[in-house]
């Protein structure tokens, strides 16, 4: 709003002068948040974008990025898509359902985003029909086809310790026996310096990509339908870009500026870039509640009433996140922060894709998993159960990993609904509701709102 007012003002002040290109660009963005793969304008050192509860900020610590010809912003394959197509700045470098729908409406479904390969429920469906893209248009999901049985990084086939049967195949894409199609949300392509680590399972919902380099090769060959992998120079450019790009919520319509100097270290892109924040909900070093002391001790005199009320709600959310205990899947007691803190094995089964806890979704495929008698059973579900997405088990071939999904980072959440790898929570309220039901936490409506407010400012 403020920006818009400033534009109007400057237009009134200089009625006869042709608007300079910066203003045109700014107007274009206000009217139209889509970043087209052929756009060619630089991505500035720092840039804010409006989102549902305030503003999000992108920070390029190595300076403005020339996007013309840059392999993240330019199609590498045959279908007109680039990385930026599915990792949009206004969607926190992921892709919100709202933006997908707007793009469908504005291009009558002709944008490369909707390419048959994975932007439709199955490539052999009639592509001009909206219903052939229903999983993308209703849940924000892309098709991910994985080889089955899996192969180890060495190229050796892995012998799974379970059988997988297709119980329901509403998209018609699970008829081949040599691959399995699951449907997933794009993950955030920013703050990756803290996510892509040389060792450990760090990328994709199932942890299948060992590095940003391997991830970019696969993305070019699959999503972009490239016939050859990107060159080493292109891969370096993509990775360099991803490692210096930081993104976090910048301001909240009620809570005000978030990343001010001296404020909570968890907030804002500058703190992220400097390494004190961390990409989860717990700061890289230490104690979550204490890290919000700058807000607790703030002399409240100069805060507007609604701003103070919002910050107080966030503080209650912080304390709930850090200290409200409930029964975890492994039967121990713990908190939200028990899983969402730095330095933890991030792949867990919280029941988002396995029945009976997953949201019932007739539009998604359903698989029956039967573990071999000799295999360790699934910790909660035993030897036979149903799942919409076996997650990590599709990579490891281990029955005990079925439904295990790698936690996403927490940045820019408000700009990239829906949530969870299968898009089953339409907004943050539904996400918190899922946890409340799943783990019988017993949150009040007010406590749910406090958690939502906390999550929305990261
Ligand atoms: C058609 C949409 C699409 C395009 C194009 C695309 N991606 Fe993605 N990206 C996704 C989806 C979907 C996932 C999550 C897949 C999964 O979890 O199995 C993802 C995941 C990622 C991740 C993992 C982040 C994390 O925290 O795990 C990175 C990094 C990434 N993409 C970078 C890229 C790059 C680089 C390119 C271009 C070479 C690219 N993407 C092109 C849809 C896309
Ligand atoms: C047992 C470990 C565990 C606990 C406890 C836990 N989470 Fe999660 N969280 C996960 C996993 C695993 C995922 C990824 C699930 C998926 O995508 O299907 C996740 C994902 C998330 C996401 C990211 C969603 C997205 O799409 O980017 C948010 C936000 C979140 N959890 C909030 C919470 C809150 C709030 C609590 C406490 C009420 C909580 N978590 C407790 C394991 C946990």
For ligand 1, atom 24, name the residue with the nearest CA.
187
* Gyration radius of the chain over CA positions: 22
pLDDT score recorded for residue 95: 98
For ligand 2, atom 20, name the residue with the nearest CA.
407
Q: Is position 12 within any domain?
A: yes
Using the structure block, give the residue that is written with the tokens 């007691």: 333
Q: Is position 214 within any domain?
A: no
pLDDT score recorded for residue 343: 78
122: Cβ below 6 Å to ligand 2? no
Long-range contacts at 42-45 (CB < 8 A, ≥ 24 apart): 42/66, 42/67, 43/67, 43/73, 43/89
Q: Is position 391 within any domain?
A: no
pLDDT score recorded for residue 209: 95
CA of residue 405 to ligand 1 center, whole Å: 15
For ligand 2, atom 2, name the residue with the nearest CA.
339
Ligand nearest to the CA of 141: 1
pLDDT score recorded for residue 282: 86
Q: How many CB atoms lie within 10 A of CB 324?
A: 16
238: Cβ below 6 Å to ligand 1? yes
Q: Is position 319 within any domain?
A: no
Q: Is position 38 within any domain?
A: no
Domain that holds residue 13: 1-31
pLDDT score recorded for residue 38: 86
Using the structure block, give the residue that is written with the tokens 């699959």: 222
Q: Is position 10 within any domain?
A: yes
Domain count, the chain: 1
CA of residue 240 to ligand 2 center, whole Å: 29
Residues of the chain with pLDDT under 70: 1-32, 298-301
338: Cβ below 6 Å to ligand 2? yes
Q: Which atom of ligand 2 is nearest to the CA of 413?
A: 27
pLDDT score recorded for residue 5: 39
User: Can you tell me the distance from the alpha carbon of 1 to that of 352, in angstroms, rounded to the nearest whole number?
Assistant: 37
For ligand 1, atom 19, name the residue with the nearest CA.
186
Q: Is position 18 within any domain?
A: yes
- Residue 390 contacts residue 208 (beta carbons within 8 Å): no
Q: Is position 24 within any domain?
A: yes
In tens, the pLDDT along 368-427 reads 999 999 999 999 999 999 999 999 999 999 999 999 999 999 999 999 999 999 999 999
| Residues, the chain | 458
User: Can you tell me the distance from the alpha carbon of 46 to that of 61, in angstroms, rounded to the nearest whole number?
Assistant: 8
Which of 187, 202, 225, 413 has most ligand 1 atoms within 8 Å of CB, for mutation? 187
In tens, the pLDDT along 10-67 reads 333 333 444 455 554 554 555 568 999 989 999 999 999 999 999 999 999 999 999 9
Ligand nearest to the CA of 118: 1
pLDDT score recorded for residue 20: 52
- Residue 69 contacts residue 86 (beta carbons within 8 Å): no
């Amino acid at each position: 709003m403020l920006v818009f007012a400033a534009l109007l003002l400057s237009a009134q002040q200089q009625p006869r002068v042709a608007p300079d290109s910066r203003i045109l660009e700014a107007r274009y963005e206000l009217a139209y948040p889509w970043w087209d793969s052929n756009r060619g304008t630089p991505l500035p050192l720092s840039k804010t974008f409006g989102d549902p509860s305030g503003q999000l900020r992108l920070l390029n610590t190595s300076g403005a990025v020339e996007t013309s010809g840059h392999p993240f912003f330019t199609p590498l394959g045959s279908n007109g898509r680039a990385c930026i197509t599915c990792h949009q700045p206004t969607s926190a470098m992921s892709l919100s359902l709202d933006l997908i729908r707007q793009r469908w409406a504005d291009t009558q479904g002709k944008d490369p985003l909707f390419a048959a390969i994975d932007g439709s429920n199955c490539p052999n469906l009639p592509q001009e029909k909206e219903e052939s893209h229903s999983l993308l248009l209703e849940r924000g999901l892309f098709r991910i086809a994985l080889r089955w049985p899996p192969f180890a990084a060495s190229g050796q086939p892995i012998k799974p310790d379970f059988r997988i049967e297709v119980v329901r195949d509403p998209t018609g894409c699970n008829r081949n026996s040599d691959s399995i199609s699951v449907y997933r949300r794009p993950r955030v392509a920013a703050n990756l310096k803290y996510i892509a680590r040389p060792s450990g399972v760090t990328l994709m919902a199932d942890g299948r990509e060992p590095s940003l380099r391997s991830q970019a090769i696969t993305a070019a060959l699959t999503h972009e339908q490239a016939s050859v992998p990107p060159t080493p120079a292109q891969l370096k450019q993509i990775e360099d870009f991803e490692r210096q790009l930081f993104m976090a919520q910048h301001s909240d319509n009620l809570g005000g500026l978030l990343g001010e100097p001296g404020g909570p270290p968890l907030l804002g892109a500058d703190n992220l870039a400097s390494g004190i924040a961390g990409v989860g909900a717990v700061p890289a070093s230490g104690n979550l509640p204490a890290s919000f002391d700058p807000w607790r001790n703030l002399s409240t005199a100069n805060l507007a009433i609604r701003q103070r009320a919002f910050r107080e709600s966030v503080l209650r959310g912080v304390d709930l996140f850090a200290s409200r205990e409930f029964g975890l899947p492994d039967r121990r007691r713990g908190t939200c922060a028990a899983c969402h803190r730095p330095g933890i094995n991030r792949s867990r089964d919280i029941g988002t894709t396995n029945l009976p806890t997953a949201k019932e979704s007739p539009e998604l495929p359903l698989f029956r998993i039967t573990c071999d008698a000799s295999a360790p059973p699934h910790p909660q579900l035993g030897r036979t159960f149903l799942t919409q997405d076996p997650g990590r088990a599709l990579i490891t071939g281990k029955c005990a990993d079925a439904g295990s999904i790698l936690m996403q980072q927490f940045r820019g959440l408000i700009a990239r609904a829906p949530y969870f790898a299968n898009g089953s929570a339409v907004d943050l309220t539904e996400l918190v509701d899922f946890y409340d039901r799943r783990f019988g936490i017993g949150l009040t409506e007010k406590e749910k709102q406090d958690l939502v407010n906390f999550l929305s400012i990261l």
